[in-house]
């Protein structure tokens, strides 16, 4: 589904990604872990199309297309979804209006008529139920005054509404209480099919108990320095990153 080859990117003079290679196939779940500041969110933002970063080398292919050529909205329309580590507050726009606009703008891009409002509202109700989201939430302004956990749940709600092919969940677990974590993870699992794929960025094994990854990667200094199966996450939880970092520092010294 997505193939990242030797991706190098940064801001100004500083290089943040030093040659990332990653391939995710339909039906797979990949977890990306790694120390703070290693470039996980940067990688996620570049996939979503954030223009602040300059890609100096490498490619991102998405279903055979060059993703780097496309503006963020077209990537979204092709099925890329990013659950933000820090969701943005948008005062003056209600959750329902925001979602209605994004769904209808995507339909417009595909040459479809806007979704009839009753159908849209019904779909929202269903997805709210899936994520145990309370009533009254739809009329609140987008993320404004939301608690950390509410913001994360709102990200997954949008994911459920937009039904993306590739979802990147950037630390969606941080800020969620234990019950919310289970609800959100179950929601993600229910949305999983053989045709979509998920990249989970997390610091904690706990989330991976619910969303079991096919592959786990460690990103360090802008490179994937180690990959393995679900077992690797357990190993990291136990041993920390130290032994991997030492190896990597030696290799790329």
Ligand X SMILES: Nc1ncnc2c1ncn2[C@@H]1O[C@H](COP(=O)(O)OP(=O)(O)OP(=O)(O)O)[C@@H](O)[C@H]1O
Q: Which of residues 65-104 bind ligand X (CB under 6 A)?
A: 85
**11 is a site residue for another protein (CB under 8 A):** no
**83 is a site residue for Mg ion (CB under 5 A):** no
Taking the least distance from each CB to another protein, the nearer of 97 and 186 is: 97
**202 is a site residue for Mg ion (CB under 5 A):** no
- Single out the residue of 190, 170, 217, 216 nearest to residue 130, CA to CA: 190
Rg over CA atoms, the chain: 18
**118 is a site residue for another protein (CB under 8 A):** no
Binding mask 17-56 for ligand X (x = CB under 6 A): -----------------x-xxxxxxx---------x----
d(CA 253, CA 249): 5
Shortest spacing between CB 41 and another protein, in angstroms: 13
Can you tell me which residue has the tokens 């329309």? 77
d(CA 122, CA 118): 6
- Select the span of 4-12, 70-78, 177-185, 191-199 touching another protein (CB under 8 A): 70-78
Can you tell me which residue has the tokens 């139920």? 129
Taking the least distance from each CB to ligand X, the nearer of 131 and 176 is: 176
The DSSP call for residue 241 is S
Positive/negative CA dihedral, 58, 63, 66, 69:
negative
Positive/negative CA dihedral, 109, 110, 111, 115:
negative
Token duo for residue 2: 């997505």
Count, residues near ligand X per rule CB under 6 A: 12
**92 is a site residue for another protein (CB under 8 A):** yes
d(CA 146, CA 150): 6
Token duo for residue 155: 């990200």
Shortest spacing between CB 142 and Mg ion, in angstroms: 21
**64 is a site residue for another protein (CB under 8 A):** no
CA angle, 205 then 208 then 209, to 5° = 95
**167 is a site residue for Mg ion (CB under 5 A):** no
**186 is a site residue for another protein (CB under 8 A):** no
Please give the residue ranges that form the binding site for another protein (CB under 8 A): 48-51, 71-73, 75-77, 81-82, 84, 87-94, 96-98, 100-103, 105-106, 109, 114, 117, 158, 162
Please give the residue ranges that form the binding site for ligand X (CB under 6 A): 11, 16, 34, 36-42, 52, 85
């Amino acid at each position: 589904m997505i193939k990242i080859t030797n991706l190098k990117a940064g801001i100004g003079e500083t290089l943040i990604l030093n040659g990332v290679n990653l391939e995710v196939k339909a039906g797979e779940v990949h977890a990306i872990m790694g120390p703070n500041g290693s470039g996980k969110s940067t990688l996620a933002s570049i996939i979503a199309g954030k223009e602040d970063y300059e890609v100096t080398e490498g490619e991102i292919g998405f279903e055979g297309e060059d993703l780097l050529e496309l503006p963020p909205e077209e990537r979204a329309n092709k099925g890329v979804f990013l659950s933000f580590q820090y969701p943005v507050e948008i005062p003056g726009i209600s959750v329902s209006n925001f979602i209605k606009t994004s769904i209808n703008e995507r339909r417009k891009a595909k040459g479809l008529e806007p979704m009839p409002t009753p159908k849209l509202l019904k779909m929202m109700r269903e997805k709210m139920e899936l994520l145990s989201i309370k009533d009254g939430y739809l009329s609140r302004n987008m993320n404004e005054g939301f608690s950390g956990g509410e913001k994360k749940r709102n990200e997954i709600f949008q994911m459920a509404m937009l039904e993306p092919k590739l979802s990147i969940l950037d630390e969606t677990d941080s800020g969620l209480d234990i019950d919310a974590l289970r609800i959100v993870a179950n929601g993600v699992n229910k949305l999983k099919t053989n045709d979509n794929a998920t990249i989970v960025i997390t610091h904690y094994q706990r989330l991976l108990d619910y969303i079991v990854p096919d592959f786990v990667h460690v990103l360090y200094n802008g490179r994937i320095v180690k990959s393995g199966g679900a077992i690797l996450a357990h190993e990291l939880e136990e041993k920390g990153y130290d032994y991997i970092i030492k190896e990597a520092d030696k290799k790329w010294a």
